Amino acid sequence: MTAMTEPLPLTIGDAARVLRSGALTAVELTSALLARIEAEDPRLGAFVTVCPETALEAATEADEMRAHGVEKGALQGIPLAIKDLIATRDAPTSANSAVQDPAWGKGVDASVVARLRAAGAVILGKATTSEFAMGPPDPAKGFLVPRNPWNTDHIAAGSSSGTGVAVAAGLALGGLGTDTGGSVRGPAAVNGHTGLKVTFGRVPKNGVVPLSASLDTVGPMARSAYDCALLLEVMAGHDPGDRDAGRVPVPSYPALLSGSVEGVRIGVATPYFFDLPELDAETRTAVLTAVGVLRDHGALVREVTVPYAKEARDASHLILAADAFAYHRSNLVHRWHDYGPGTRPMLARGAMYSAGDYAQAQRLRTAFGRGLSTVFDTVDVLVTPTMTGPAERFDEFDVEMLLLGPGFTGQWNLAGLPAVAVPCGFSVSGLPLSMQIVGRPYAEATVLNAADAYQRWTDWHLKVPPTAVSS
């Protein structure tokens, strides 16, 4: 292939326009990204498996169909990364663990992947994840540790870290993550792009290694809210293979992005989310400044209180831990040392909870949902920080604080609500900061519209790590 002389498109939306124009082919785009992966991924650790042959075959097919006048939509010829918990027919699903059965999902696409392929998307490969979405990858067992492309001494968060790194570093134009307690939004926040946790049941999760059946979601990760809308339009909808998949009609999400927040009622969830001493001051300022941008463009902003916010965080942790332990219990007994040393205690802690604890967490879940219904009677979306601060250094990362410290994402898994992480600035050390926008059940269009409008007036989501390859 002739070397690219022009910078590649940053976003799915831009790439779709360039591909349609004929100025760039899907094969050229895919080849360029595969070359980037080969050059950059040894230091970033975004991919467990790269599939160049099948990716180029899919790109060739996309080009041939377009040459014959067949247009499948905006994802035709778009290269994507898929988290290594999600089955793809052309690569194993290892869950970044020596425990995972090599035959799991072999030769099969998860429903959501099948939908992306049917829309003409190109699957580049499988992206790194925390081991079973719970513990850090274990390098001693041959698993890569993903690194933040803004500073590789810092974490890329979890568990959809590989997809987050791939998007931020320009190794893929978008991709899939899973989110059980924040695993799409955390990597999006610390790596500096957009990530959407969908309403529980909005996207089918059959063909995905489970963590917690009542909390798990599959969500799009991309540079912009508009890109996430393009992905979601293809991903969403009922599937008979997933008993939790909702039967709610799928709108044209991109068409619903108006570019306006005039009259949108925004609730700034101040207690717990903004007044915690653990909240980094730069993050607080960046998020409130972002809210000010929305207010300046016509949004109606007020402070609100989300009842049981801390308790909801604790309940989501308890349910996740208990469900994960139930899934892994037999292997923990018989294959303890095959799990990474950081994963074992994360999974085993589920054994410490009683049936009564689990029942109380579910009661709190119900009370939290009722309280949120009252809040959403007065606002259209809630705004919080996504994380308490920028990405931590590897040598300062504290797993205990991850479990016991405050958090702003798990509450919305507990309630099953959509929530999008949106870049809104940088720390003085040059690391991304993020705002979270939360909506009612199945109100993905509402949260994406607010995020997209903000991104039309700012360019934080278009910032590229200084070490990223530009062409």
- Residues with catalytic function: 83, 159, 183
Tell me the residue type at 103.
Answer: A
Sequence-distant (6+) residues with CB within 8 A of 235 are 112, 115, 116, 176, 203, 218, 220
DSSP state of 432: E
Antiparallel, parallel or unpaired: β 265-269 and 381-385 = parallel
| Structure tokens that stand for 454 in this block | 């903000």
Picking from 23, 12, 20, 239, the residue whose alpha carbon sits closest to that of residue 4 is: 23
Rounded-to-integer distance, Cα 64 and Cα 368, Å: 52
CA–chain centroid gap for 2, Å, is 34
Rounded-to-integer distance, Cα 249 and Cα 256, Å: 14
Q: How many residues does the chain have?
A: 471
Taken in order 120, 122, 125, 129, is the CA torsion positive or negative? negative
Sequence-distant (6+) residues with CB within 8 A of 30 are 55, 56, 58, 59, 77, 79, 122, 124
Residues in a beta bridge with 437: 383, 420
Rounded-to-integer distance, Cα 465 and Cα 471, Å: 13
Q: Is the peptide bond before 97 cis (omega within 30 degrees of 0)?
A: no
Rounded-to-integer distance, Cα 203 and Cα 286, Å: 31
| Residue 116 burial (C-beta neighbours within 10 Å; 0-12, 13-18, 19+) | buried
Q: Is 200 helix (H, G, I), strand (E, B) or coil?
A: coil
